[in-house]
Structure formats: structure tokens, C-alpha cells
């Protein structure tokens, strides 16, 4: 039976670059989740005949949220749901299933790289028929409706058994439960030379993949251990857990400390990698060697001809403004398209759909290509393994040869977390206002050539977006300031430092960027305005 439930709106359901992310207990408030889903349904309009992908990363509240969604979809007239077995679907796998089945959209319940558990975070990612995140024009409509909503529809029934693969019905709606890994594996086999990768592991090559107790554990076991032949146990923290086993599922040097410590030990594997909560981010390590996401994007782009799916050429490459300029030099050398966009994967979708780019990446450990419309952690790992298999070189050798060819962008990111939204907004506004006056001024030995907001004009839909502030120095160095919306509470001020060098290629990034870091603090008045004299997270 379909019920219409009266409700009152919540006014904080504005989606950020990664969907709607909130504290789990906020999402569990009476009708909070239901209000948001109904707001999306109301924005879409007539749902008759519509088909959607549904899944999540297994974090706390995921199982309850999926059951609520199923019943609401049935009540609102959705024709069919395709659901990952037990409710599990990684973000990249979900995008692939959506595109393969030509569905009308997809929902992945995840707060991505944010912590899980009852006291952690929960989120809703909504993709349209492109397979990518919906544009700002749509999220704005959803937000407006969420502030006015008065009722939602839900089917009154027992919970649906989504543990078994097969088809069933709720009312007039078809529910198809699928193996969420099968289609993803088939896609990877079409992109990469799996036989070459099998030979790599037969020769004794070793790897350590940290799934961080998140959704890609089963994907990684299937691909790396069962298909490619990596030693059993190569995938660690492989069981998805509601609280990620207490881990913060963000694959960086701080939160993937166990993997980093192992890869910097004398027992290190030949190759190390990690994925985040929903499987769209990646970190790459060699023996006692870390590859920055900016360098990783540049190296993958430079070696595209080694991959069967790209051997005949690629359209171009895109990067977020905060990502280092390393890939720009590669694009120029290969004479391919190059685009710089705001932070947010949705900005790459138009470029992919219009055949302007094939590869894209962000400094926040996200890399991907036009095989789907999301970043893809396992894809990046398989790409690196393929380069190693084809060249016979180590991660460190590949990276240092790249620096020797193109020069090195020394790069670091500083996160100042837990800032009040008011303080963060005021800091950025005041900094933007004083940018014009900074020209020709010198800070800690760096002279400013230009300082301005980053403004992006989309070449496809001709929309204009302002995202972050950039200070350019006369020696080619850069500082990027950005207020992040990926957290579930408060604000995070991110400061990105880049210093380019053609000669000094093997220095410690901390030493190379020390004075630029001091300049960044002074220019933005961070200590005075936030009370913080050092960043909470440095990557």
C-alpha cells in the first residue's frame, strides 16, 4: 500500500561537489533522508518508465537507507531498480552499470572518503543519465524543493531481500539484484591487457592493496588475487565494514598510515595502492616512494599508448585548478587537448561527453577516464600496473624518468579543518578583495606576478563558475586557496602549493616549499583569522 506522509522541511540539504554529506545522526533524523529523496524525485518529475541504479559503500545506515529508497521509488512510480547484491556498489562500478544499461540515473549512498559509523558521516550521490554527477542547475532545484517539501510517498511493506541475485517486484516496480563486480571486471578487461598483468605476477611481482575496510575490497580480491594472480593476502582490509573498522577511508599519507609504513619498511612490496570508501580515489606507492596525485595524472597521460584501449590516441586531458601543472606539460608535448576546471568531477563530464578529453584528475587522489563518468580508483591502479608490466621499471624509476623529461612540480596540500563557516567565508572574501593589490609584492622571496579568482567558462554549455583563488609568482610557483565543501560540518580551508623546477629534481618537498608555505600563511592571514599556526592535515 502506498502512503503519503506529511513532513516539514529541513533547510540544510544543499548538495556539494560530492552530493549531500552530513553526519550520520543528522541523516537519521525523522524524515530527513526521505525528504531529500522525495525532493530529487520531485525535481525529476514523472517517474513512470524510469530505471535507476542503487547501491552504497556499506557504511552505517546504508542498509536502512536502501530499504527506504526502494519503498519510496515504488510509491513514486519508478519502473525498475538495479541494486548491487547486499546493497554494495562502488561509485565507479555504479557509473558503469548505469551507462551499460542506459538507465535514467543512479544513487550511491556514500560520504566517499569521510569516516563511517554511527558517529561518522553519511551521504547521497545522485547521477543523471550521463553517469556523472548532476550539474549545479539541477542541485539548485533540488535544494529549493527541499526547503518547501510538505510530504513524501512511501510503499508500506516488509523489507526487500537484496542478498540474492535475481528479480522480484514491489507493487508494479521491478527490482533486479545483480553481482556488482561482474560488469566492472568485464569493463577493465576491455581496457587493459590482463594477460600481460598475469605474467607480471607470475614473475614474482608483489603488491599491497589497502581497501580500508571499504567497498572495493571484494572488487580488489576478484581482480588482483583471483584473476591476475597476485599472492593471496595482497589485498588487506578487504571486508567492507559499517565503520570501516575505525579507519578513516581516505587514501592519503595521513589516513592510510598502515600501508605507508609497510611500503617504507624493508619488507615493502614492489607496489602499493589504496582506495577510499566508495572506490573512486586512489593512492600510489612504490618501495619507499610516494607518487603525488598530480604526478600520477601526468604519468598516466604520458604513457597512454601502453594501454590497449587508448593505443590509437586520446582526445585530451583535464585537471582541476588546484592540481599541479605537471599534466599541462605532457599535454603540450603530445599535442592533445588540455583543460583546467573547478574542483568537482561534474565539470569533466561535459568535456568527456563532447570528446574533448579522455583522461582527467584532481589533486585529491582522484583519477579517471571517459570509460565512465566518475573517478575510478582500481582503474588507476591497473593503469600503473600496466606501465610497470610494459616497461619493466619500478614506480620510482618511472616517476623519476618523468621528472627528467618534463621537470618536477613540487606540490603539497595543507588542510585547515574545523573552521567555522563564517570565519572561512570571511577569510576567502577578504582575500579575494585584496588580490589586485598584491601584484609585484614579495613574500618570503617570492614575487607575485598575478593574483585572481579562478573563473571557468565551460566550452560546452557556456556556463561560468568561480572556484578558488590563485596567486601566481614570477618564477612559475603558485598558491591556490579554496574553501572545501566535502566535510559534513564546518569548513575546511585548503591551501595548495606548487613550485616548478627543471634541475633540482630529488629534493624534499617540505624543504622546497617551506618559504612558499610561509608566504601562503601571511598572504591569507590564516593564523590571525583561524587561530591555527599549522595545518591539520598535510598531503
DSSP E strand stretches across 171-256: 173-178, 207-210, 235-236
User: How many Å separate Cα 380 from the centre of its chain?
Assistant: 12
Cell triple for 394: 619500478
Q: Please tell me the distance from the alpha carbon of residue 326 to that of residue 315, in angstroms, as a whole number.
A: 18
**Neighbouring C-alpha atoms within 13 Å toward the C-beta of 497:** 24
**CA within 13 Å, CB half, 262:** 18
Q: Torsion angle of alpha carbons 423, 498, 355, 456, nearest 10°?
A: 40
Give the span between the Cα atoms of 175 and 171, in whole angstroms.
Answer: 10
What gap in Å lies between CA 66 and CA 61, rounded to an integer? 9
User: 189, exposed or middle or buried, with CB in 10 Å at 0-12, 13-18, 19+?
Assistant: middle
CA 494 – CA 503 distance, rounded (Å): 28
Q: With CA atoms as reference, report the closest residue to 105 among 37, 27, 166, 59.
A: 37
CA 301 to chain centre: 18
Q: Cβ(212)–Cβ(57) under 8 Å?
A: no
Minimal CA–CA distance to 214: which of 243, 186, 189, 184? 243
Nearest to 191 by CA among 424, 31, 20, 378: 378
| CB of 483 closer than 8 Å to CB of 425 | yes
Nearest in space to 382 (alpha carbons), one of 530, 103, 191, 99: 191
Catalytic residue list: 112
Amino acid at each position: 500500500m502506498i502512503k503519503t506522509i506529511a513532513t516539514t522541511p529541513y533547510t540544510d540539504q544543499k548538495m556539494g561537489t560530492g552530493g549531500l554529506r552530513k553526519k550520520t545522526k543528522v541523516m537519521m533524523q525523522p524524515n530527513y533522508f526521505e525528504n531529500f529523496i522525495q525532493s530529487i524525485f520531485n525535481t525529476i518529475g514523472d517517474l513512470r518508465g524510469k530505471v535507476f541504479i542503487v547501491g552504497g559503500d556499506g557504511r552505517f545506515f546504508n542498509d536502512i537507507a536502501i530499504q527506504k529508497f526502494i519503498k519510496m521509488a515504488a510509491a513514486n512510480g519508478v519502473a525498475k531498480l538495479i541494486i548491487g547484491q547486499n546493497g554494495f556498489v562502488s561509485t565507479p562500478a555504479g557509473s558503469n552499470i548505469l551507462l551499460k544499461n542506459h538507465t535514467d540515473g543512479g544513487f550511491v549512498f556514500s560520504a566517499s572518503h569521510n569516516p563511517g559509523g554511527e558517529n561518522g558521516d553519511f551521504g547521497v550521490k545522485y547521477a543523471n543519465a550521463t553517469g556523472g554527477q548532476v550539474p549545479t542547475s539541477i542541485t539548485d532545484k533540488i535544494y529549493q524543493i527541499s526547503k518547501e517539501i510538505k510530504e513524501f510517498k512511501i510503499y508500506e511493506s516488509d523489507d526487500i531481500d537484496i542478498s540474492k541475485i535475481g528479480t522480484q517486484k514491489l507493487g508494479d516496480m521491478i527490482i533486479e539484484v545483480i553481482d556488482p563486480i561482474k560488469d566492472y571486471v568485464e569493463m577493465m578487461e576491455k581496457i587493459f591487457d590482463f594477460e600481460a598483468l598475469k605474467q607480471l605476477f607470475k614473475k614474482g611481482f608483489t603488491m599491497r592493496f589497502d581497501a580500508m575496510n571499504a567497498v572495493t575490497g571484494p572488487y580488489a580480491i576478484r581482480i588482483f588475487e583471483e584473476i591476475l594472480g597476485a599472492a593471496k593476502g595482497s589485498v588487506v582490509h578487504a571486508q567492507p565494514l559499517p565503520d570501516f573498522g575505525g579507519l578513516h577511508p581516505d587514501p592519503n599519507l595521513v589516513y592510510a598510515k598502515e600501508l605507508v609504513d609497510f611500503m617504507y619498511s624493508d619488507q615493502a612490496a614492489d607496489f602499493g595502492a589504496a582506495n577510499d570508501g566508495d572506490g573512486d580515489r586512489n593512492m600510489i606507492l612504490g618501495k619507499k616512494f610516494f607518487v603525488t596525485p598530480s604526478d600520477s595524472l601526468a604519468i598516466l597521460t604520458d604513457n597512454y599508448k601502453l594501454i590497449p584501449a587508448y593505443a590509437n590516441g586520446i582526445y585530451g586531458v583535464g585537471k582541476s585548478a588546484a592540481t599541479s601543472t605537471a599534466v599541462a606539460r605532457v599535454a603540450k608535448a603530445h599535442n592533445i587537448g588540455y583543460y583546467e576546471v573547478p574542483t568537482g568531477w561534474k565539470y569533466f563530464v561535459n568535456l568527456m561527453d563532447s570528446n574533448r578529453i579522455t583522461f582527467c584528475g584532481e589533486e585529491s587522489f582522484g583519477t579517471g577516464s571517459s570509460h565512465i563518468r566518475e573517478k575510478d580508483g582500481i582503474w588507476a591502479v591497473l593503469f600503473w600496473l600496466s606501465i610497470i608490466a610494459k616497461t619493466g621499471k619500478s614506480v620510482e624509476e618511472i616517476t623519476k624518468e618523468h621528472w627528467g623529461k618534463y621537470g618536477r612540480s613540487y606540490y603539497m596540500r595543507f588542510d585547515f579543518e574545523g573552521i567555522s563557516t563564517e570565519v572561512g567565508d570571511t577569510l576567502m572574501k577578504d582575500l579575494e578583495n585584496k588580490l589586485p593589490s598584491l601584484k609585484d609584492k614579495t613574500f618570503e622571496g617570492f614575487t607575485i606576478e598575478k593574483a585572481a579568482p579562478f573563473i571557468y567558462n565551460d566550452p560546452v554549455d557556456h556556463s561560468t563558475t568561480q572556484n578558488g583563488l590563485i596567486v601566481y609568482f614570477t618564477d612559475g610557483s603558485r598558491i591556490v586557496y579554496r574553501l572545501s565543501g566535502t566535510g559534513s560540518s564546518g569548513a575546511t580551508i585548503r591551501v595548495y602549493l606548487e613550485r616548478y623546477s627543471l634541475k633540482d629534481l630529488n629534493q624534499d618537498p617540505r624543504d622546497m616549499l617551506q618559504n612558499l608555505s610561509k608566504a601562503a600563511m601571511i598572504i591569507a592571514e590564516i593564523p590571525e583569522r583561524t587561530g591555527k599556526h599549522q595545518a591539520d592535515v598535510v598531503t
